[in-house]
């Protein structure tokens, strides 16, 4: 299968780019060359973002060697793997319900809300030929540029790419220069009135008191859906505790000593389970006895490793590095798998009359009545 099969969706590149660009255009309505430069730079950022999100994953392609060496069990060309911050630092599970994705939604939708609110106030002020000083303009002098920066930062949290990371500081600098030019024009048009407004109103970030109020409002708006997602999505483990699969393990668990040991033991137990299924077809008693002896030898070795892992886990807890419930369940399941295999092979050996050939060190001792 083509490793880029999750990409090449150029129709989605076009659709998403158009939707977001038209949505932003409906609020900004650029008129002057300066407005068009601002809007054009923002549009270029969106096109570059969605090109890598759905078209061709250039960033992942360029860093695929390092990513594959660091996280060998991750399919980096699967679409969800493009959420790089979630894959590297998130809490595991569905990346759309991870902390970076949820935080990005706050910045993106908050930015669009601020953009719409700002345009409404500015439009009314322009029609009345007055200064825009109400609504978001009472908090900062350039709320539209703050909105653009917030949206771009949100997309960087959600889907960081090499190109958008390079574009972001350039665009921020461009917005700063545009804001300075607009202020020179405002001084020419409104004189001392604008100077008074400049003295009491910050440029891009509201004062701490206002920021605190906005934070409370934002938390109220976004807390309910975030809480619902948090409660509904079952897998909220950290990447270090992500559940190991039958074929090798979680993406970050593999990169911890405990995760590697558990993954190896699961693979070995799975191999023994498959071999046990072939014991039923062994009709020769001597061959059957040899197979049982070999399997018991392997189980003894696995058991010794599991006991050492238990000791390490106890040390981790004693040192304050808490082991998650998921990790404990995985360990208990490994112990149960090994015990069940021992009982099954003992039962098979006994039924075949070969129990005398099994090492007494692995046979259960009978109780004295």
Phi, psi at 177, each rounded to 5°: -65, -40
pLDDT digits (tens, 9 = 90+) for 128-138: 888 988 989 98
| Tokens, residue 73 | 């069990």
282 or 201, greater pLDDT = 201
CA dihedral 314, 317, 322, 323 (to 10 degrees): 10
CA–CA separation, 158 vs 153, rounded Å? 9
CA–CA separation, 279 vs 298, rounded Å? 15
- Please state, as a whole number, how many other Cβ atoms lie within 10 Å of the Cβ of residue 155: 23
Please name which of 241, 89, 59, 75 lies closest in space to residue 157, comparing C-alpha atoms: 89
pLDDT at 17 over 90: yes
In this structure, of 53-62, 84-93, 322-331, the range with the lowest mean pLDDT score is 322-331
240 or 141, greater pLDDT = 141
In this structure, of 165-169, 214-218, 357-361, the range with the lowest mean pLDDT score is 357-361
Say what the pLDDT of residue 208 is.
Answer: 76
Per 3-state DSSP, the chain is made up of helix, strand and coil in percentages (nearest 5) of 75, 0, 25
pLDDT at 9 over 70: yes
In percent, the amount of the chain with pLDDT more than 70 equals 62
pTM of the model: 0.59
């Amino acid at each position: 299968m083509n490793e880029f099969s999750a990409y090449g969706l150029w129709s989605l590149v076009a659709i998403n780019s158009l939707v977001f660009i038209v949505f932003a255009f409906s609020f900004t309505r650029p008129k002057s060359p300066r407005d068009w430069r601002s809007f054009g730079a923002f549009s270029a950022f969106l096109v570059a973002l969605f090109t890598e999100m759905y078209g061709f994953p250039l960033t992942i392609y360029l860093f695929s060697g390092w990513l594959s060496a660091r996280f060998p069990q991750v399919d980096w060309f699967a679409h969800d793997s493009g959420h790089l911050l979630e894959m590297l630092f998130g809490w595991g599970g569905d990346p759309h319900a991870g902390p970076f994705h949820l935080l990005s939604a706050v910045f993106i939708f908050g930015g669009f809300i601020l953009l719409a609110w700002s345009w409404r106030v500015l439009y009314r002020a322009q029609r009345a030929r007055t200064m825009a000083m109400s609504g978001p303009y009472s908090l900062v002098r350039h709320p539209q540029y703050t909105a653009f920066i917030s949206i771009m930062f949100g997309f960087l949290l959600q889907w960081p790419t090499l190109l958008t990371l390079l574009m972001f500081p350039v665009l921020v600098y461009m917005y700063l220069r545009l804001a300075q030019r607009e202020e020179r024009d405002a001084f020419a048009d409104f004189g001392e009135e604008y100077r008074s407004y400049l003295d009491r109103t910050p440029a891009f970030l509201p004062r701490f008191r206002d920021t605190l109020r906005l934070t409370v409002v934002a938390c109220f708006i976004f807390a309910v859906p975030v809480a619902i997602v948090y409660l509904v999505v079952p897998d909220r483990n950290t990447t270090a505790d992500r559940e190991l699969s039958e074929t090798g393990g979680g993406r970050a668990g593999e990169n911890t000593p405990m995760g590697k040991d558990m993954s190896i033991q699961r693979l070995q137990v799975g191999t023994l389970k498959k071999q046990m299924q072939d014991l039923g077809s062994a009709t020769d008693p001597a061959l059957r006895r040899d197979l049982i002896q070999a399997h018991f030898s392997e189980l003894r070795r696995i058991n010794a490793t599991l006991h050492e892992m238990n000791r390490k886990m106890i040390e981790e807890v004693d040192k304050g590095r808490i082991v998650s419930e998921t990790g404990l369940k995985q360990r208990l399941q490994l112990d149960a798998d090994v015990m069940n295999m021992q009982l099954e092979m003992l039962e098979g050996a006994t039924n075949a009359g070969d129990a005398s050939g099994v090492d007494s060190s692995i046979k259960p001792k009978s109780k004295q009545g």
